[in-house]
Every structure is written in structure tokens, then in C-alpha cells.
């Protein structure tokens, strides 16, 4: 089995890792379910639908480079689901690079994506390997909309709003809290600019009469994907939430962090946001398509043209599971479009990714009108 399995899912026992395992199982793709605890991996893999005995194996591994290299040796694709990524991701990237593996992850952390681009893009390119972070609902859904809109000549500026309906996982909670306390960037006239600290904006979202609060939520990866793309001038991304106690709590913590940060070291800041996350983090139930619907809305324009587009979909975490398995399958078949640092759409194609989501029953479509 070990020789046959060319995909390793690191962090497979977590909520999102199990979903990636599920979709790999659906496609009959052999894989290694890896993580620190064999006991936990065995217990969690036993709950995953569509896994067949003999199609996967479990490997316990310590979170340090040499141990990870031994686990990754002979594999083709590493799918990393262990976050927060800026805290825990670099040893995984180093091991994947050393062992000649393509690297995918599910990050939502803007600073991690920028770190990978600046420090590891050239090395992965030299080895003809793909380095593709954020191959997940957030921040791929917005990119699928932007790429669709870029098919209209003259459009170059994009204002994206994610409007999900569901609760974050424990790892996602830790990640989004650290993101909200870091510099968060938009792309403005082909240069990165920061959001104001502890700020929200009012946003309108299709199909509701309520004006929602938009948080930068780390700024999104779309400004980073398009920072050096000559087709694009402006990108702003936020996440829209109704007026709930959780949003009030997050806004309060952001304001508190602004007051505290002058006296905090970098490690103390990371420890603080982790502690805040553990106060509220919970494992959500499995998503239900008619409950966990989402909208990603984009207002786009160029010099003399404008477009509005809505991306309709269901089940963000299930979509993340599918995208992880789809990316691994494309890499196994050698069908990636780029090597080195690349966004999901640049690596695999936005039309192909939407077709994969629909083919898996995670229905999504875009609806747009000239404005």
C-alpha cells in the first residue's frame, strides 16, 4: 500500500482533513492519513464515509522537518491541513520541497500566502513542483468569480463579498482571529494597501434586505493572487456577517488587540489570539446543503464597463474537501497548468474547478448581468 499511495493528507484527523479523505475515497485515490496521533487517526478515519480498507493507511509523524521528510519520501502530493499555517506550516513546506512533493494547503491566512511567495516560490519552481496554498472555499470562491469576470474585456477592478452560512472549525477560528489582528491588505491601483485596524464596513449582499457588517477577515488571498497580474488594478475582499454576538465579540477582541499590541512580542501576540480562539472554538456539525448555502458577490468594473456577478454554492467545508482531492488528482495526472507558486485557479483552471464541484454534487453556478 505504501508504494501505491502517492498522496499524503497531513492533519487528516481534523474536520477538514477528514473531508479531503472522504473525497479521495470517493475517487478511489490511495492516500496516507498522517498526523501526530495514530490513535486519533484510527478513530477519526473509521468515521469517514466512502473509505475502503486497503485504500488508505495511517502514519503517525512528529511535527518536525526530518520526521516529515521520512513520511513524505516517495509521495507525489502533500495536502497540508494543519493550521494556523503561519505558526505551524513551514516545516511541512520544507519537508515537501526536500522530498520533491507538490504542496497544497487549505489556509485562509494572507500573511502565510505572502510568506510562501517570497521565500519558497523560486525553489518550488526550480524543482518543477507546485506550491499552491488556500486551495479551499476561502479564498478560492472569490477567485472563481473574478476569473469568470475577467473573461469580459475591459474589466479590471473587483469588490468581493463572501457571505457564508455556517460555523468555523476550531482550526479556522484560531486562524481567523490571528488574521484579524495582522496587517490586512487590499489591492489598490496595483499596489497593496492596508485596511484600517479593528474596522468593519457596511455591505449589501444579494437576496437579503439587511445591510451586513463586512470584516476584512485577513484581507483575502485574492489581492495577493492578483498583485502582479497586469489584467487587474483593484481587488478588495471582505466577509459579511449578520449582527450576531460572535461578530460583536470579534470586533471587541480586535479593538482590544490594538490596545495591547505595543507591549506584546510576536510570540505573545500569537499565543493571545490562540487563547481567544480556544474560548469560543467548537467543531461544527457536518454541513447540510439546504442549510449551509453561501453567496460570493462581486461588483466589477473597468474604465467604461461594469459587471455584477453572484456565485451561488453550498457547503463551504465540503467544497474544501472536494478541492483538496481534486487538486491532488490533477497533480497525479500531471494536469496542473503551472509549477512554482500559483493560485488554485491558475494551477487548475477556474472552469475545471467549478465543473469538479458540480460533478461532486456540490452545486455551484454564477449569475451575472451587465450594469
pLDDT tens digits along 74-133: 999 999 999 999 999 999 999 999 999 999 999 999 999 999 999 999 999 999 999 999
Q: Can you tell me the mean pLDDT for 133-161?
A: 96
Q: Is 55 helix (H, G, I), strand (E, B) or coil?
A: coil
Tell me the average pLDDT of the chain.
94
pLDDT band of 241, cuts 50, 70, 90: confident
Q: Can you tell me the mean pLDDT for 42-61?
A: 92
pLDDT band of 245, cuts 50, 70, 90: confident
Q: Can you tell me the mean pLDDT for 196-202?
A: 91
pLDDT of residue 138: 93
Contact by Cβ (8 Å): 158, 146: yes
pLDDT band of 369, cuts 50, 70, 90: low
pLDDT of residue 363: 74
pLDDT band of 370, cuts 50, 70, 90: very low
All domains in the chain, ordered by first residue = 7-136+317-351 (3.40.50.720), 137-315 (3.30.360.10)
Q: Can you tell me the mean pLDDT for 148-153?
A: 95
Give the percent of the chain with pLDDT over 70: 99
Q: Which one is predicted more confidently, 367 or 238?
A: 238
pLDDT band of 371, cuts 50, 70, 90: very low
Q: Who contacts 106 (Cβ-Cβ below 8 Å, separation ≥6)? A: 16, 79, 80, 81, 83, 134, 135, 136, 320, 324
pLDDT band of 2, cuts 50, 70, 90: low
pLDDT band of 1, cuts 50, 70, 90: low
Residue 341 has phi, psi (to 5 degrees) of -70, 125
Whether the predicted pLDDT of 260 surpasses 50: yes
pLDDT, tens digit (0-9, with 9 covering 90-100), for 293-347: 999 999 999 999 999 999 999 999 999 999 999 999 999 999 999 999 999 999 9
Q: Which one is predicted more confidently, 166 or 23?
A: 23
The beta strands (E) that lie in the chain are given as 7-10, 31-35, 56-60, 77-80, 102-105, 130-132, 155-163, 185-188, 191-194, 201-203, 212-215, 234-241, 293-302, 306-314, 340-341, 365-370
Amino acid at each position: 500500500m505504501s508504494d501505491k499511495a502517492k498522496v499524503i493528507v497531513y492533519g487528516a484527523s481534523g474536520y477538514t482533513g477528514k473531508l479531503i479523505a472522504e473525497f479521495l475515497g470517493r475517487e478511489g485515490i490511495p492516500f496516507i492519513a498522517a498526523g501526530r496521533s495514530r490513535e486519533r487517526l484510527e478513530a477519526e478515519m473509521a468515521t469517514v464515509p466512502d473509505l475502503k480498507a486497503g485504500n488508505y493507511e495511517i502514519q503517525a509523524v512528529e511535527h518536525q522537518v526530518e520526521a516529515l521528510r521520512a513520511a513524505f519520501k516517495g509521495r507525489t502530493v502533500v495536502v497540508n491541513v494543519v493550521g494556523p499555517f503561519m505558526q505551524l506550516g513551514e516545516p511541512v513546506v520544507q519537508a515537501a520541497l526536500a522530498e520533491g512533493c507538490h504542496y497544497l494547503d487549505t489556509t485562509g491566512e494572507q500573511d502565510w500566502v505572502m510568506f510562501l511567495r517570497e521565500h519558497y516560490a523560486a525553489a518550488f519552481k526550480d524543482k518543477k513542483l507546485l506550491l499552491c496554498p488556500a486551495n479551499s472555499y476561502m479564498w478560492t470562491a472569490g477567485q472563481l468569480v473574478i476569473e469568470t469576470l475577467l473573461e469580459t474585456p475591459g474589466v479590471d477592478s473587483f469588490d468581493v463579498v463572501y457571505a457564508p452560512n455556517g460555523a468555523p472549525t476550531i482550526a479556522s477560528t484560531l486562524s481567523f482571529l490571528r488574521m484579524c489582528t495582522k496587517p490586512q491588505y487590499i489591492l489598490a491601483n496595483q499596489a497593496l494597501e492596508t485596511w484600517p485596524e479593528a474596522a468593519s464596513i457596511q455591505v449589501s449582499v444579494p437576496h437579503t434586505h439587511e445591510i451586513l457588517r463586512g470584516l476584512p477577515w485577513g484581507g483575502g488571498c485574492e489581492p495577493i493572487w492578483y498583485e502582479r497580474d497586469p489584467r487587474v488594478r483593484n481587488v478588495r475582499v471582505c466577509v459579511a456577517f449578520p449582527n450576531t454576538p460572535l461578530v460583536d465579540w470579534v470586533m471587541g477582541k480586535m479593538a482590544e488587540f490594538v490596545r495591547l499590541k505595543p507591549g506584546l512580542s510576536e510570540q505573545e501576540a500569537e499565543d493571545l489570539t490562540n487563547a481567544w480562539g480556544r474560548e469560543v472554538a467548537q467543531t461544527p456539525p457536518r454541513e447540510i446543503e439546504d442549510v449551509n448555502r453561501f453567496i460570493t458577490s462581486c461588483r466589477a468594473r473597468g474604465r467604461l464597463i461594469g459587471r455584477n456577478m453572484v456565485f451561488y454554492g453550498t457547503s463551504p467545508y465540503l467544497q474544501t474537501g472536494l478541492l483538496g482531492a481534486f487538486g491532488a488528482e490533477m497533480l497525479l495526472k500531471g494536469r496542473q497548468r503551472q509549477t512554482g507558486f500559483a493560485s488554485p485557479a491558475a494551477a487548475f483552471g477556474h472552469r475545471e474547478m467549478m465543473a469538479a464541484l458540480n460533478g461532486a454534487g456540490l452545486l455551484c453556478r454564477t449569475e451575472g448581468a451587465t450594469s
